[in-house]
């Protein structure tokens, strides 16, 4: 009876309103980590003392762990007929940014997705099993963290913020910036710095802390739209999207192409499920790069789901969903609706899709250009110096009186 009650409770918590067809071939999920503490409290923050918080700055809280555990259970229910309950490295590959809260979120998620059953049980009364999570340092990661240095991207972003549109945005927010700077004790002069402060206030309010009186006139109503806009800036145009999200879409498309081109019985058939644990900026960047971002601050565990289908008749097609509430809702691209033909998806994303090798070449092209300009300057400099020096010597020789070098012979008279 108890087991039946648990089952009914689970079904009620995760109603089967979604339908995953039998031709589903591969799934990729990208999600934001769970609830965390503030990364950096502002100078005048009444809750900047570490004693107010259960864990250190920027770390995953117990609420965040539970939220991701529940998301893992959601994946288990959604893909109950697709993803075997027994764990196998041939079924799933997990990658996370190299940040504690994303690594821990992936662990909590996997605990909900893969509670040990059968031969996976390795210790009695322990509903958990170790599953590998892969990561690389953020400053080396151009795909998921997207924080590997790219000089050309930095130039494009600077140009964006110098544009008339963002000049007007900053001018419009001049008084708001000044107000926030005065009362927070930290300089707020950009959308990014405003969003950081907004995020801290959001976390404190979510933890039932009473916010200072000065926030009443600005939080959340006045700050929220600008905080939401800040999430669009990193991929605001095609050039930025190409260098920020392009390597990820190249990896995504390459993975799906491998799934469509390789027979299921092949020895190196890639895993059917890829899991990426990342950040709110990651979710916003990917949605915006697809032209599907409705300005907002992606909440904890916000998830993008890519599902590749291989029907027995017809071409492979793709469905994309965004889950930022209880249910995953379809993401419709501008020229591709539900059951988007995979080839069409590739064409849509082609302008921004870029391999890591191409990304590296484009990012460093500005450095090569600077080196070329510097080398050209050095050559021209020495050419000018040489010309000036030669001309100076020639002028001196022209002005010098001609001296006849003559030696008088013996016996010669003057």
Closest CA to 32 of 79, 101, 89: 101
- At 366, is the pLDDT very low, low, confident or very high (cuts 50, 70, 90)? confident
pLDDT tens, residue by residue, 124-181:
999 999 999 999 999 999 999 999 999 999 999 999 999 999 999 999 999 999 999 9
Q: Of residues 279, 280, 296, 309, which has the active-site annotation?
A: 280
| Dihedral of alpha carbons 333, 337, 339, 343, sign | negative
**Residue 107 and residue 105: Cα distance in Å, rounded?**
5
DSSP secondary structure code for residue 85 in this structure? S
Q: Which of 326, 283, 285, 336 lies closest to 305 in space, CA to CA?
A: 283
Nearest CA to 276 out of 112, 95, 89 is that of: 95
Q: Confirm if 278 and 102 have CB atoms less than 8 A apart.
A: yes
Please state, for a pLDDT cut of 70, what percent of the chain lies above it: 83
pLDDT band with cut points at 50, 70 and 90 for residue 296: very high
**Per-residue pLDDT tens digits for 389-402:** 766 676 766 665 54
Active-site residue identified among 33, 68, 279, 309: 33
pTM: 0.85
Tell the residue number behind the tokens 């609420």, with chain if given.
63
> CA–CA separation, 64 vs 259, rounded Å?
33
Identify whether 220 is preceded by a cis peptide bond (ω within 30 of 0).
yes
Active site residue 280: yes
Active-site residue, 134 included: no
Tell me the per-residue pLDDT of 38-47, one tens digit each, with 9 for 90 and over.
999 999 999 9
């Amino acid at each position: 009876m108890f087991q039946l009650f648990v089952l009914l409770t689970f079904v009620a918590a995760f109603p089967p309103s979604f339908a995953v067809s039998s031709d589903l071939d591969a799934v990729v999920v990208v999600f934001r980590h769970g609830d965390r503490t503030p990364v950096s409290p502002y100078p005048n923050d009444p809750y900047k003392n570490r004693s107010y918080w259960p864990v250190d700055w920027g770390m995953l809280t117990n609420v965040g762990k539970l939220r991701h555990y529940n998301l893992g259970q959601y994946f288990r229910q959604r893909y109950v007929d697709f993803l075997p309950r027994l764990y196998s490295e041939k079924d799933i590959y997990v990658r996370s940014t190299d940040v504690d809260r994303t690594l821990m979120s992936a662990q909590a998620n996997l605990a909900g997705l893969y509670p040990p059953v059968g031969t996976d049980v390795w210790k009695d009364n322990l509903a958990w099993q170790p599953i590998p999570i892969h990561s690389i340092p953020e400053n080396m990661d151009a795909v998921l963290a997207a924080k590997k240095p790219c000089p050309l991207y930095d130039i494009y972003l600077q140009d964006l913020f110098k544009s008339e549109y963002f000049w007007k945005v900053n001018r419009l927010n001049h008084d708001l910036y000044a107000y926030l700077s005065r009362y927070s004790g930290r300089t707020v002069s950009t959308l990014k710095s405003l969003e950081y402060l907004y995020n801290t206030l959001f976390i404190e309010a979510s933890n039932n802390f009473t916010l200072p009186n000065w926030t009443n006139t600005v939080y959340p109503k006045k700050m929220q739209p600008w905080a939401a806009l800040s999430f669009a800036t990193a991929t605001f145009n095609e050039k930025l999207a190409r260098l920020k999200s392009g390597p990820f879409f190249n990896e995504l498309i390459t993975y799906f192409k491998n799934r469509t081109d390789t027979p299921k019985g092949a020895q190196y058939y890639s895993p059917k499920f890829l899991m990426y644990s990342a950040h709110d900026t990651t979710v916003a960047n990917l949605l915006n790069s697809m032209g599907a971002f409705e300005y907002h601050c992606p909440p904890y565990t916000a998830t993008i789901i890519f599902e590749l289908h291989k029907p027995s008749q017809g071409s492979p097609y793709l469905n994309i969903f965004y889950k930022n509430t209880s249910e995953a809702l379809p993401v419709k691209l501008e020229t591709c609706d539900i059951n988007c033909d995979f080839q069409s998806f590739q064409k849509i994303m082609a302008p921004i899709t870029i391999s890591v090798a191409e990304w590296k070449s484009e990012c460093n092209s500005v450095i090569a250009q600077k080196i070329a300009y510097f080398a050209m300057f050095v050559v021209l400099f020495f050419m000018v110096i040489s010309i000036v020096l030669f001309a100076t010597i020639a002028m001196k020789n022209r002005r010098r009186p001609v001296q006849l070098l003559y030696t008088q012979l013996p016996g010669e008279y003057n």
